[in-house]
Amino acid sequence: MSSKPKYKIRKDDVVVVVAGAQKGRTGRVVRLLPEKGKVVVEGVHMVRRHVRGTPEQPGRILEKEAPIAISNVALWNAETKTRVKPAWRIQEDGTRVRVDRRTGEPVARPSKA
């Protein structure tokens, strides 16, 4: 029985690409693919897909985001404009919280926008 890998990046987090052709670009995580170790980031790594037409509608070219490796992205703090190395800390009441390893500050939960 295999379990899903645990990652410190969640859906709706803002991340920055740290390696590859898209290096330096930031965006919001749209989807996590933990089984493949990949994430889909809004507006990053855009690819074109050609869709065949049908009698009802013509063919077209779609642009959509392609997955990138989760190891190539890092959590982004927009206020300080720096990368965040998150860690899990257990509070006194037993809840797990993501914190910045450098500052010890809690990382805000992603907003459901």
For residue range 40-76, what is the model confidence (pLDDT) as tens digits?
A: 999 999 999 999 999 999 999 999 999 999 999 999 9
Q: Which residues are CB-contacts of 39 (< 8 A; sequence separation ≥ 6)? A: 9, 15, 29, 31, 32, 33, 67, 68, 70, 73
8 A C-beta contact, residue 29 and residue 13 = yes
Q: Which of 50-54, 94-98, 109-113 has the lowest mean pLDDT?
A: 109-113
Kindly state the tokens that stand for 36.
């493949």
Question: DSSP labels for 94-111?
Answer: S-EEEEETTT-PBPPPPP
CATH number of 14-84: 2.30.30.30
- Number of Cα atoms under 13 Å in the Cβ half of residue 31: 10
